Amino acid sequence: MSVHSQSQRVTVPQLMACKGSQKIAALTAYIAPIARLLDDALDMILVGDSTAMVGYALPDTLSISVSTMTAHAAAVVRATHHACVIVDMPFGSYQQSPAQAFANAAAMLAGSGVSGVKLEGGAALAETTRFLVDRGIPVLAHVGLMPQYMNVMGGFKAQGMTQMAADRILADARAHADAGAFGVVLEGISEPLARQITEALAIPTIGIGASPRCDGQILVTEDILGLSGDRIPKFAQRFGDAATVIREAAQRYAQSVREETFPTLDQCFGVRPLG
């Protein structure tokens, strides 16, 4: 159970205050029924653009739109009362200019009720982080392996394996922290680098394929529930088996339909003896 009061939604300043005192537990959610079940346990829910791959079976995250992400974020906010909900800004909705980023981020906040946005990008995007934060939009930065930059990075590969690459990622994280980001997601980087960034920054780091020493952890919910097929990423772990629960329920339902044990007359309206 999250240590934050269950009667109020966790705020961005409360997440920041976790640094050095308690770990931040975060997961993704895209739809109301899952978000409702996760809410009490978590400090933060991310409406990730990974929904493109996980929810829409697309090959990457590049084609999801602002309106689709806003609709998912609104559903997650309506279904929850506790966890701080943050939404991913989709590819192409913020990279052009800080003004473009503000227009889209403001529309996403107004249209969904989330508490902030996440954006992927190196130091070049720090100016955008500052522009949003100065205008009232909390920003969670995302550095290291950035799925929206897969075409530049040559796929989904762990980052920061050379000293030069590691120095650049540290500089990226610092730039966003200096620009006012409330936290930074460290994805797919070497463990010593994740530890070094966590020690260097005054804001929380949230790791995914990073280090147990990060200030918090995030995973894709479908990976921890066994809903991502047979293969899960090296950095994830299955904490439950929802796949078996769902598959077996579907089989029992189908069998009941075929055997005519479902529905019963008690489940019907205006029942008269069958002729």
Which one of 4, 25, 43, 50 is in contact with ligand KIV (CB under 6 A)? 50
Would you say 52 or 170 has its CB closer to ligand KIV?
52
Token pair 């439950």 in the structure block, residue:
240
Q: Which stretch binds ligand KIV (CB under 6 A): 44-52, 102-110, 188-196, 238-246?
A: 44-52
CA distances 266 to 75, 249, 261, 262, Å, are 33, 21, 12, 10
Pick out residues in 170-229 that bind ligand KIV (CB under 6 A): 185, 187, 208, 218, 220
Would you say 173 or 259 has its CB closer to ligand KIV?
173
Least distance to ligand KIV from the beta carbon of 246, Å?
A: 21
Buried (b) or exposed (e) across 115-146, using 16+ Cβ within 10 A?
A: bbbbbbbbbebbebbbbbbeeebbbbbbbbbb
What DSSP string describes 87-116? EEPPTTSSSS-HHHHHHHHHHHHHHH--SE
Would you say 140 or 179 has its CB closer to ligand KIV?
140
Distance CA 201, CA 241 (A): 36
Least distance to ligand KIV from the beta carbon of 146, Å?
A: 9
Whether residue 140 contacts residue 181, with contact meaning beta carbons closer than 8 Å, is answered with yes
Q: Which residues contact 85 (CB under 8 A, 6 or more apart)?
A: 9, 44, 45, 46, 47, 73, 76, 77, 112, 113, 114, 115
Whether residue 84 contacts residue 73, with contact meaning beta carbons closer than 8 Å, is answered with no
Pick out residues in 69-88 that bind ligand KIV (CB under 6 A): 88
Question: Going residue by residue from 116 to 145, which x/- string records binding to ligand KIV, judged by CB under 6 A?
Answer: --------------------------x---
Q: Which stretch binds ligand KIV (CB under 6 A): 36-44, 47-55, 155-163, 239-247?
A: 47-55
The yes or no reply on residue 49 touching ligand KIV (CB under 6 A) is: yes
Question: Total number of residues binding ligand KIV (CB under 6 A)?
Answer: 12
Cis amide leading into 13 (omega within 30)? no
Would you say 7 or 151 has its CB closer to ligand KIV?
151
What's the token pair of residue 183?
Answer: 């936290």
> Which residues are the active-site residues?
187
Would you say 39 or 223 has its CB closer to ligand KIV?
223
Least distance to ligand KIV from the beta carbon of 260, Å?
A: 43
- Residues within the interface to ligand KIV (CB under 6 A): 28, 46, 48-50, 88, 142, 185, 187, 208, 218, 220
